[in-house]
Amino acid sequence: MAKNDAKILELKKQIAAKKSALKGIERFTPLTNCNLHVGNERFNLHACDSKMLTTLLVQLNALRLSAADLGLESFEISGFALSNWLSDIKSKLLILDKVKEEERLKVLEDQLTSLLSVEKKTELLIDELQGKI
C-alpha cells in the first residue's frame, strides 16, 4: 500500500459517515400548497433558491412577531397558517442544504479516489468484484 492510501481511506470513511448522517433527512413534504402571496408578489417555494427562502423566512417571522404583539393567535397567509409556512420554508431550506452537502461530499470523495495508488484501486476493485460472485 502506498504511503497515503491509509489516510485517504480513512478520509473516505469520514465522508461515508457524513453521507450516512444525511440519509435521515427525508424529502420535502409541504404542509401548504407552496404558493405564497406576500404583498403584491407570489412565490413558489419549489422554485425559490436558498437566498430567497431565507428572505421569506425573515419576512414571515417578522409577521409572526407582529401578529403575536397584536394578540392574533391564528394568522393565515394565502389560506394557510403562518406557522405552516414557516415550517415549509425551514424544511425546504434543510433539503436544499442536504443536496448541496451531498454534492460537496461527492466531489471530495472523487478527488480522494483519484489520489489512491494504482495497487490500492486494483485491490478495492477485486474486493468489490469478489463480493458480487
Give the other-Cβ count within 10 Å of 82's Cβ.
Answer: 19
Q: pTM for the complete prediction? A: 0.79
pLDDT exceeds 70 at position 33: yes
Q: What is the pLDDT of residues 3-26, one digit of tens each?
A: 788 899 999 999 999 999 888 778
DSSP 36: E
What share of the chain has pLDDT > 90, as a percent?
67
